[in-house]
Amino acid sequence: MNILNNLKTYTAALLLFTTAAHLPIAHADSNVIAVDYIRGEGDVEGIKIAYQRHTDYLKQFSSNLELYVETSVNFWEYGAENKHDTNFVLAMSPVIRYQIGSAYSNPLYAELGIGVSLLDDTQFAGKNVSTHYQFEDRLGLVYKFGKNQKNSIALRYLHYSNAGFKSPNPGLDFVSLSYSSTI
């Protein structure tokens, strides 16, 4: 029974992740790879590797708006070497960016997104988050730079929670520092 549930879960996650590859694009610079260093409550550290598929869909409403869907793999670790806890997370989030200004002739954006994630372990960093399925909320600042603004750095706040569908729901909070580049 447990093997069947895991198979269903991983099949659903795979279907979600392949969705991003089929978004319509309007320009050649729509595929982005990002690497994040993640720091959470206590001694939680991690890395996130993400693929972003950008689209010009929101440009019809405002030239300052951008939309992308990010699929990511997260590796989290908590505690000391001889007594530590790890977690593996798959996530997919639609993200909206709005240009709030510029610095050194390069655009500065605020972004927000709410997506879904699948945690390998519901017990992590001394918390019971109850469900493998969590929402991934984010707020961030993004600075694009380089030739044609093909690179960016970002500072983001990430929150994972099951939105109260099951108790307990303590949530997990992270700050991430990200570098991304168009591929």
pTM for the structure as a whole: 0.83
The predicted structure's pLDDT at residue 20: 47
pLDDT in tens, 112-158: 999 999 999 999 988 899 999 999 999 999 999 998 889 999 999 99
Among 69, 67, 151, 62, smallest CA distance to 107 is for 151
> Rounded to the nearest 5°, which phi and psi values hold at 43?
-105, 25
Measure the CA dihedral 43/154/115/23, to 10°: -140
Among 66, 152, 175, smallest CA distance to 103 is for 152
Give the residue-averaged pLDDT of 65-93: 91
